[in-house]
Amino acid sequence: MRFIFEKIHAVLATGVALALLSFGAHATDIAGVKLGMSVGEAKAAFGRPAQMKVIPIYTNKIESGLAAWQGERLYDNSWSGPLDEFAAFKGHADSIWFVQKNQRLPKTARYTRQVLLEAVRKKFGKESFIKGEMGDKLGAIVVGWEFDQDGKQFFGPYSEGGRTITGAAIPAAPCRMFDLVRIGSNPTGGDNFLPEPMSIILPSEFKRSCSRAYYAEWTHDSDGLVEAVALRAIDSATILRAIDGKSAGSEADARKRVQDQQNKGVKPSL
């Protein structure tokens, strides 16, 4: 009997180990909030600075996330916005599928890009790719941790895919759901459900080849010091399930309306 229990324990341990190999240190938090949390759990876990203003986000009058910010809008770097801002969002999904934290650094609080890279590697583990050149004098960097639909992490140089001149397929990362241009591009938050002065915009396109993705994005000045950084987590699988369910419901409603009309037996008057 003891041998059987030992075998069961070994099987369970192997399963846990495989799960950790899939998501590993990457299935982690941003400011205390993790993908998959309920709104209540996210509110309780959010490690906010004492001066940060926090408000609920509503979807169809139902609480579906939280937004927070502190500090005045900064214009001395390329991502103008509050000094710090944060959003966690569930919307119509079953759990939190989007988390983002932006930090804009005053000149006296900046650090080198290498220090930041080492910090995000320590937090999230070995990255899938780095997009951008760390050695460039001015520029933007994206460090990504991307997992395919089976939860397996992608490793390789960043690529948009396509084919070589010989016709061979070029491997592409499974998610590619970052967008540097949109960070700070609209002070009202895009669709305006986030208040001024927030500038976080939620992604609106998702890839079925992707389960989850984590990103650290930053810009650095000519002195090599980081001026603004964004951390983002996206659960593509969760939001796609919600979208699929909503679409299926809409199609079912449309079929019912047609059937109800047919059942009335209305005839043309010619």
Q: Say how far apart CA 140 and CA 134 lie, in whole Å.
A: 9
Q: pLDDT value at position 130?
A: 93
Is the pLDDT reported for residue 8 higher than 50?
A: no
Tell me if the pTM is above 0.85: no
Is the pLDDT reported for residue 36 higher than 70?
A: yes
CA dihedral 32, 38, 43, 44 (to 10 degrees): -70
Q: Say how far apart CA 45 and CA 36 lie, in whole Å.
A: 13
Q: pLDDT value at position 189?
A: 33
Q: Tell me which residue of 217, 203, 223 sits closest to 104, measured CA to CA.
A: 217
Q: Say how far apart CA 153 and CA 268 lie, in whole Å.
A: 60
* φ, ψ for residue 163, nearest 5 deg: -135, 155
pLDDT digits (tens, 9 = 90+) for 179-227: 533 433 333 333 445 767 777 878 877 889 999 999 999 988 888 899 8
Q: pLDDT value at position 54?
A: 92
pLDDT tier at 252, thresholds 50, 70, 90: low
| pLDDT above 90 coverage of the chain, percent | 37
Q: pLDDT value at position 181?
A: 39
Structure tokens at 126: 């070995």
Q: Is 151 left (phi over 0), alpha (psi -120 to 50) or beta?
A: left
Q: pLDDT value at position 164?
A: 80
Asked if residues 156 and 172 have their Cβ atoms less than 8 Å apart, the reply is: no
Which of the residue ranges 75-79, 102-106, 148-152 would you say has the lowest mean pLDDT?
A: 75-79
Is the pLDDT reported for residue 162 higher than 90?
A: no
Q: Say how far apart CA 119 and CA 203 lie, in whole Å.
A: 25
151 contact partners, CB below 8 Å, separation of at least 6: 19, 22, 23, 211, 212
More confident residue, 131 or 161: 131
225 contact partners, CB below 8 Å, separation of at least 6: 110, 111, 112, 113
- What does the mean pLDDT of the chain come to? 77
| pLDDT above 70 coverage of the chain, percent | 73
| DSSP summary character for residue 97 | -
pLDDT digits (tens, 9 = 90+) for 143-152: 999 999 999 9
pLDDT tier at 18, thresholds 50, 70, 90: very low
More confident residue, 260 or 3: 260
C-alpha R_g of the chain: 22
